[in-house]
Structure 1
Amino acid sequence: MPSISRKGVSMPESPIRKLVPFAEAAKKRGVNVIHLNIGQPDIKTPKVALDAVRNHDIDVLAYSMTEGSEQYRQKIAEYYAKNDIQVTSKDLIVTTGGSEALYFAMGTIMDAEDEIIIPEPFYANYNGFATASGVKVVPIVSTIDNNFALPPIADFEKLITPKTKAILICNPGNPTGYLYSKEEIQQLAKLVKKHNLFLIADEVYREFTYEGREHYSILQESGLEEHAIVVDSVSKRYSMCGARIGCLVSKNKDVIQTALKFAQARLSPPTFAQIASEAALETPPSYFDEVKKEYVSRRDILVSELKKLDDVKVAVPQGAFYCVVELPVKDADDFAQWLLEKFDANGNTVMVAPASGFYATKGMGKNQIRIAYVLEKELLVEAVQILGKGLTLYASR
C-alpha cells in the first residue's frame, strides 16, 4: 500500500475538535452536550453584514483580485487608522481566514527546519501550520501562576539560534486571554531588532479587552516596520467565523510581495464573504461596547463559579473569551473523553478542550483545560456545576 507522508503522520490533531466523535455519540445516546470547547460566539452577526449578501445583485460570482478587492482593502486600512494603526491598502492581503494569513506568513519568511519561538500555551493550530510548513516550533513556557504573562526576555534570548526567524504571539491570547502590555510589546520589539527577527502578532481578538485596558498593536511600535507582521480576521470580531475572511498586514514590502505569490497559488479569497466583511466594517462602536460588556459579565460569573470548585485554579482573562483552568486530575484528555463517554448529570454533560494540545512541550498542560465562555451566563453556571459533579465522580472511580 502507498505510504502516507511523514508530514501527514506528524500533523497534530486539534485538541478542540478531536473529541467531536465522542460528543456526537453522546448526543445519539440522548445526552445533552454543553460545548465549552470551541470559540464559536453565540453573539449575533451584525445585520448590516448579512444584508449586504442578501441584497446583492451579482449576476456572475467571479474571482476577486488575489489580494482582495481594492475597495475592501481600502476600508480595512481606514478601520486600522481608527485604531491608531497607520497602513495603506497596499500593506495588506485579504486571506481565507486568519489561518491562511499565518500560513502565508510562515511560507514567506521561513524555510524548512527554520525555527519560530512561541510562548505556550498557544493556539493549537500554530503547531499544525508549522508542521505543514516544515518549521520547528520552539516553545517558551508561560505559567498560570502569573496569569500567563510574557516570559522574561532573557529566556527568549537563550532560545535564539542561527535558525530562528521569528517570534509569534497572540494578543489578546488564545487560549489564555492574556493581554500583552505596551511595555511587553516594546521589550519584544527591542529583541527582534537586536537579532534581526520578525515579530508576528495574531491580533484577531483586538476589540475584546477588559477593565479599560487598551490593545497595543505591534504595528503601532515605531521602528518595527520591517519586522512586524500582523495576522487578523473578522471571525471573532463580528461573530462571522463561517465567512473565513482574514488578512495579513505588514509595512515590509518584501513580505507583502512574497506573500502575494502564495496568495496567487490559491487564486482569490471568497467573493461573497468579502462583501459581508466589507459591510461589517460599518458596524457601529456601540456593537462592541455591548459585546465587551457581555463577555466581561460571562467571564466574571465563569471565574466565580470555577473558584467554588475544590482544587481548581483558573487564570483570569484580560481579553478574548477563553480561560485556562487547572484541574485536580492527572490527564485532562482522559477526563474530557470520560465526560462524553461515561458521565452525565441528569442527561447533561460538558465538552471541554484539553490544554495539552495548546503546548508544544511534551507533558505540559496535562491537568489543564481551555474553556470558551461564548455561552449565555445561565448555561455557563450550569456547565460549571456539571463539571464539578464530573470531577467528584471521576476522582472516586
Structure 2
Amino acid sequence: MSGFNLPSRADHVGSFLRPAYLHQAREQYFKGEIDAKALREVEDKAIREVVQLQKDVGLKAITDGEFRRTYFHVDFLRQLGGVYTDEPRTHKRADGSEELTPPLIKVIEKVRHVKNIQLDDFNFLKALSTEPGLKPKVTIPSPTMLHFRGGRAGIDATAYPELEPDFYEDVAKAYGEELKSLYDAGCTYVQMDDTNLAYLCDERMREAARQRGDDPNALPAKYAAFINRVVAHKPQGMTLAMHLCRGNFKSTYAAEGNYEPVAEALLSQMNIDAYFLEYDDDRSGDFRPLRFLGKDKTVVLGLISSKFGQMESKDDIKRRIDEAAKYAPLEQLALSPQCGFASTVHGNDIAFDEQKAKLELVVDIAREVWGE
C-alpha cells in the first residue's frame, strides 16, 4: 500500500519497564558485586520475557526494551569516537516531581565510528524474533544531539574550526557505518530518537537555543539536512524512522508546543521513512502540521499515553485518527503509544499490567481502523 512501510499499523517507540530483578542486578553490578557477564545473563532473561510480551499482545516490531541501557541516548553516544558525555542528574521541581537534567554532551575530537555499538544486542534480539511477520527494531539516539545540547560551544574548535561540512559529514559517516553493520547482520528497521526538533516547538527551548547563538528558525532545516546526510549513508532496503520526544522521565515532560515550527522541515524536507509523533495531550497541538507529510512516508500517531495508567477510550482514539486523516491520508498513518514506557532505567509511573493493556489497546484499534 502506497505510503506505508512499517511491519504493522500497531507500533511502539521501544522502551519497556524493567523488572525488579533487573534493577537489582544492575545495582549489584555498579557496586562491583557481579561482573558484566553475569549482568548480561540477567538482561538476556529479561529481554526474552519482554520479547514474549510483545508477541503476546500482537506487535510485529520487536525491540529488546532498551534493557541494556541506563539512558536512551548517553549509552550510545559515548561509544562514538570523539564524543564525551557526563552522567545525567535529577532535581526536584517546585511541585515535588523529579526532572532529568540533560547530560553534558561534547565533541572533543573528530567524530568517528570506532566499534559496532548495537551489533551484539541486535543479534541476540534477532534470534528471538524469527517468526514470520516479526521485525526486530533497533533504537538509537538522533545525531542532532551532538549539536543541539551545546551548540557551537559544545564542539571542539580545533577538531572542527567550521562545522560545515566536516562535522556533519563525519557524524553522518559514523552513523552510516553503524547502520551498515546492523544491516549486514539482517537489521532492516532502525528508529532514531530525537528530542531536539520537538524542543524547537517550545518557546522556552527556542530561547535557550538563541542564548547559545543558534537561530531556532533556521535549525529545523539545518537538522533536516543533517539527517539527510545520514540517510545518504543508509543501506538501501533499511527503513529509518524518527521519534520526536518532548521528554519522558518518570512520567514528566520537558517541552510542549505545536509541531508547526518544525513541520515542513521534518515532514517534507527530511528523507526519513516514518515519524513517531507524540499526540497524547494538548501540549502537542493539533494535526494541521501533518499537511506537510510527503508521499510514501508514514506518521505513527502517538495517541496512547505511556506516562499514565488511565486507559484511553477506544472511540476517542478513533475520532482523533479521523481528525488526523483530514490532513494526511489514512493509509499513511499508524498508531502507537506516545513514547516508550521507560526512556531511562527508572521507568514511568505506570504498572506492568497497565503497560500491557496500553499495547493491547493499540493493537485492537489498529485492527479495527486499518483491518489488520
User: Fold-level match, TM-score > 0.5?
Assistant: no
Q: Larger radius of gyration, structure 1 or 2?
A: 1
Give me the TM-score of the superposition, normalised by structure 2: 0.30
Question: What TM-score, normalized by structure 1, do the two folds share?
Answer: 0.28
By relative contact order (CA 8 Å, sep 6+), the higher-ranking structure is: 1
